[in-house]
Chains A and B, each alone.
Chain A
């Protein structure tokens, strides 16, 4: 045994020395804040701008903004949190509002509470609500997904419609217009991905309902807004006024290529719409069409996200200070990201700024930002709960049945059965 110990001792010592030197190297590194987000034209570019602003006043802090696809950010985050290894995680991560409660509730202690530092009274209340668990508020509210109806003025004019005709639509009227647009111009009214329930969510929330009620209980079979939303999507499909899309980039291609006359989605798409300079002046923005049920409005929300600081981060203090300095207080920053990227932030004070008053030449001189800002105030507040992804999957699973003529009540029952089985 003595022989053995003697043989191993140098190796053990070597290993110990190696790990000590490794630690020393990491300690010497400068303060770099790593951030994960997903849209190079939008939140990535905005975060780089924010970082540049902070580095001006704090030269010791640098930023590493990492750009992934959104699903990759979510899945990498979920894997990192589940494995419990903090080194795999960034210091700040962007999380979509639908998923915020899921992460906060299933990984308690993983995110840093910012309640004491950030003054949340200055933000849109619905954004703060999605990041609150047991009275603690986590995260820095970022952009809003207030929705609008983007439409091609040139196509609609050919079909005989003026911008005034697009203002106070019902969904039934929208479908009628769509049929005439196709008749006169040969263009479809909108792009639609049958595997994406986004449109259903927009319509449902516009009437103040969600898959779950205020207490988080499943709200499917007795949900008039969801029923009306499914009926509407069913009508759009059976009227065949849509161009089918397989996946996100395909869907984006339906309007960037000029194949469709309208887009109904969140304000964050503005940057993508404006990325086609040859379409300048051809687009207008109107409030989304309305359902014909009680509580229906012309305002809704799709997506929107917020920044979260990881509790395990080595640069936690700097990260929190950075978010609070820029996203919590810098009104000028919000004007810049609005003009450059079309980001409608959720800091209420920012809306008094000059940029919101300005007309946008791309949209033929309309004051689009003022409009979005007004609509944002009217978005009905709902509880996204923790199972939105599951409910969404159940809805998309039933969409084809709807188009094949299954009665809506049966579709709702099937969705309810699937959602109930998922919620445990």
Chain B
């Protein structure tokens, strides 16, 4: 047997070692690698339900000529471009306010702002749907305050439906990002701020020149996480629009489109796999750009 051989290379041939990791490797292979490889293979096939045929690059060609896909992609990118910056900035501001020890009851505020992110996605979507109904609490409040004269068609107008989705996901995820910033803020040495204060640096400059640069790794992390989350946006839109991405496909996301292609329309698993690879490529590209933009410029 191999027990005779020892040393760094010998480790690779040690049966006992392999046996220990074999169950994990097997499970990863079966439930992660195999589906990924298989879905890649599927993306080159097309057909109805179980009647799949090899189609080469036909699915990729189809992407270009599919107005619904283009619409879903545009919507997803709109959410990403509008919502992620708003949320990150909001989370940063909230975190630095709530990091101030002089704020009374900041534990309460922290909990309140973090709480949305532990609520069920479905439950809060349904609740939002009720709150933003034509005669719901939001419209009646705005009307009482005299901000609007007729109710805003939150769920039935293409523009306002998008706004509603952005409000919903911002409400849900801002607290989540804030917690990361709070944790990171507590790791910044207080003496740096002390020095800055003694040197007469104003509060705003302390924020932009000390807090933000020192939080950069965390900001990068939350941006990447939020990008992935936004590109995979599904639950909120599904529940707010009864799975349709309406009105007029205005809230349709790529994930919802994949779902429709698989479960609502004539099932075309090949094309659905192709669309899901679009998300993979987008996430990879965007994450790469974010890392590139935030790289350390060592002189």
**Same complex origin of A and B:** yes
Interface residues on B, range: 35 or more
Whether a CB of chain A sits under 8 angstroms from the CB of B67 is yes
Q: What are the residues of chain B within 8 A of A424 when measuring CB–CB?
A: 46, 62, 268, 271
B230-252 with Cβ < 8 A to chain A:
241-244, 246-249
Q: What are the residues of chain B within 8 A of A75 when measuring CB–CB?
A: 263-264
A372-390 with Cβ < 8 A to chain B:
386-387, 389-390
Q: Mark A185-197, 1 if CB is under 8 A from B, else 0.
A: 0000000001100
Chain A binder among B29-37, B137-145, B153-161, B180-188: B153-161
Q: Known contacts A398-B248, A400-B158, A421-B68; decide if A82 and B264 are in contact (CB<8 Å).
A: no
Q: Mark B45-68, 1 if CB is under 8 A from A, else 0.
A: 010111100000000001001111
Contact of A390 with B265 in the complex, beta carbons under 8 Å = yes
Whether a CB of chain A sits under 8 angstroms from the CB of B116 is no
Contact of A195 with B68 in the complex, beta carbons under 8 Å = no
Contact of A82 with B249 in the complex, beta carbons under 8 Å = no
Contact of B133 with A79 in the complex, beta carbons under 8 Å = no
Partner of A396, one of B46, B129, B244: B244
A209-262 with Cβ < 8 A to chain B:
244, 246-248, 250
- Nearest to B51 among chain A residues (CB) is A106
Q: Known contacts A106-B49, A194-B246, A247-B242; decide if A393 and B260 are in contact (CB<8 Å).
A: yes
Whether a CB of chain A sits under 8 angstroms from the CB of B134 is yes
Contact of A71 with B243 in the complex, beta carbons under 8 Å = yes
CA distance A415 to B213 in the complex (A): 50
Whether a CB of chain B sits under 8 angstroms from the CB of A370 is no
Q: What are the residues of chain B within 8 A of A158 when measuring CB–CB?
A: none
CA distance A393 to B269 in the complex (A): 19
Partner of B246, one of A71, A195, A250, A418: A195
CA distance A106 to B249 in the complex (A): 26
CA distance A105 to B266 in the complex (A): 10
CA distance A412 to B158 in the complex (A): 19
Whether a CB of chain A sits under 8 angstroms from the CB of B267 is yes
Partner of A82, one of B50, B244, B248, B265: B50
Q: Mark A396-422, 1 if CB is under 8 A from B, else 0.
A: 111111000000000000000110011
- Nearest to B68 among chain A residues (CB) is A418
Partner of B266, one of A82, A387, A397, A400: A387
Q: What are the residues of chain A within 8 A of B242 when measuring CB–CB?
A: 71, 195, 246-248
Most chain A beta-carbon contacts within 10 A, residue among B153, B156, B243: B156
Whether a CB of chain B sits under 8 angstroms from the CB of A81 is yes
Q: What are the residues of chain A within 8 A of B271 when measuring CB–CB?
A: 424
Whether a CB of chain B sits under 8 angstroms from the CB of A274 is no
Q: Known contacts A106-B48, A107-B49, A244-B153; decide if A396 and B266 are in contact (CB<8 Å).
A: no
Q: What are the residues of chain A within 8 A of B48 when measuring CB–CB?
A: 105-106, 386
Whether a CB of chain A sits under 8 angstroms from the CB of B74 is no
Q: What are the residues of chain B within 8 A of A386 when measuring CB–CB?
A: 48, 266
Partner of A195, one of B65, B247, B263, B264: B247
Minimum Cβ distance to chain B for residue A369 (Å): 32
Q: Known contacts A82-B49, A396-B244; decide if A194 and B264 are in contact (CB<8 Å).
A: no
- Nearest to B19 among chain A residues (CB) is A4
Contact of A246 with B133 in the complex, beta carbons under 8 Å = yes
- Nearest to B259 among chain A residues (CB) is A75
Whether a CB of chain A sits under 8 angstroms from the CB of B262 is yes
Whether a CB of chain B sits under 8 angstroms from the CB of A48 is no
B92-114 with Cβ < 8 A to chain A:
none
- Nearest to A400 among chain B residues (CB) is B248
Whether a CB of chain B sits under 8 angstroms from the CB of A74 is yes
Whether a CB of chain B sits under 8 angstroms from the CB of A78 is yes
Contact of B247 with A194 in the complex, beta carbons under 8 Å = yes
CA distance A194 to B244 in the complex (A): 11
Q: What are the residues of chain B within 8 A of A248 when measuring CB–CB?
A: 242
Minimum Cβ distance to chain B for residue A225 (Å): 22
Known: A397-B249, A424-B271. 11 other contacts (CB 8 A): A79-B263, A82-B49, A82-B269, A106-B51, A106-B267, A107-B49, A108-B50, A244-B153, A246-B129, A389-B266, A393-B68
A-B contact pairs, 10 of them (CB 8 A): A78-B263, A82-B262, A107-B50, A108-B51, A195-B246, A246-B242, A250-B133, A393-B260, A394-B68, A400-B247
Q: Chain A interface (Cβ within 8 Å of chain B)?
A: 71, 74-75, 78-79, 81-82, 102-103, 105-108, 194-195, 244, 246-248, 250, 386-387, 389-390, 393-394, 396-401, 417-418, 421-422, 424
Q: Chain B interface (Cβ within 8 Å of chain A)?
A: 46, 48-51, 62, 65-68, 71, 129, 133-134, 153, 155-158, 241-244, 246-249, 260, 262-269, 271
The 4 A-B pairs of least Cβ separation, nearest first, read: A106-B49, A195-B246, A106-B48, A75-B263
